[in-house]
Structure 1
């Protein structure tokens, strides 16, 4: 799953949902290649009734099939101003982390490896729908683009669809950038 350079991510539509589930699809074949699911404890579910979910901790497991073992895990603890989101591989070892920007017009965050080296920056446009992965040298190495789902779905649901594209020269960090693309919606945008 992590060897791809293009991913289509579709959020499941749900009424009164307390956790998110996203299908990860190969855009060339339209075949499902994975799923991302928020895995929350009872207390976090209960607190989401009264507290904004962007403040509460969350864990997102990215697996090749629903309820399967995680290939990647996105974890965020309690947060107020700036979030730190840790990314773990299938063995539970850290592969990097994201640090949200304090001020950003279109949204965005920094992507770091395990040695605290800046790997990329995620920059959003003024609408907060399209994002670019910019490497430490200032070159674009990937994009996240929101796909229009139609008037009915856009007006009456918060379910989004994104295309994540990763440049060939950055495929060694595909897991980190796939997690970054998912974190845009799951961790930073959903309210």
Structure 2
């Protein structure tokens, strides 16, 4: 089986659902079509489930586990209740904090500062409010980009499912914290900025 953290191109597919509270994704290797990771929100409480169907959805807490198909945790993404701006923590396979994201105030289209374990800025997530294209920038260097993959007008209109392509620079180490933070950020774009 391919090590999912060594892949530079990933297809993220959100599970289709008209009335769903949990955010669930499958991550594929586009070259082989094989499933390499799964994202699940397993411990969703009843109160949170109810709020996910209201205008308060963007404020609800989440605890998402990204793992290999055999159940090995790659990263865990957590956030408490969010009133104005999101602060998200990212944990490694041993549930040790490796960094997180802080949403920027007054950013058009949404933006995050990606921070390492000591809260030092590593890169910024920048996007356009008119589309679904985001880049992870460290100064003038692009570390990764993520874009929405169109899946058909019927699916887009009647469900909340999205597909994304994540392209990571091959200059990033396979098992480095920055690569894991970028993978985690793809889930945060959808849940924090785009819901």
Give yes or no for the alignment of 1:7 onto 2:5.
Answer: no
- Aligned mate of 2:162, from 160, 163, 175: 160
CA RMSD of aligned residues (A): 1.6
Unpaired segments ≥5 residues, structure 1 = none
* TM-score, normalising length: structure 2: 0.90
Judge conservation of contact 2:18–2:158 (CA < 8 Å) in 1: no
Deviates more, 1:137-146 or 1:37-46: 37-46
Which residue matches 1:94?
97
Judge conservation of contact 1:72–1:90 (CA < 8 Å) in 2: yes
- Aligned mate of 2:68, from 64, 68, 72: 64
Q: Give 1:46 deviation, angstroms.
A: 3.1
Which residue matches 2:179?
174
Judge conservation of contact 1:6–1:163 (CA < 8 Å) in 2: yes
Which residue matches 1:33?
36
Indicate the SS of the match to 1:74.
strand
1:76-118 C-alpha deviation (Å, 9 max, x unpaired)? 0011111100000111000101001111212221100012111
**Cα distance in 2 between the residues matched to 1:188 and 1:25:** 23
Judge conservation of contact 1:63–1:70 (CA < 8 Å) in 2: yes
Unpaired segments ≥5 residues, structure 2 = none
Which residue matches 1:43?
47
Indicate the SS of the match to 1:169.
coil
Deviates more, 1:38-47 or 1:6-15: 38-47
Which residue matches 1:120?
123
Q: Which runs of 4+ in 1 moved over 6 A?
A: none
* TM-score, normalising length: structure 1: 0.92
Q: Give 1:27 deviation, angstroms.
A: 1.1
Q: Give 1:69 deviation, angstroms.
A: 4.2
Judge conservation of contact 1:3–1:174 (CA < 8 Å) in 2: no
The count of residues paired between Structure 1 and Structure 2 equals: 188
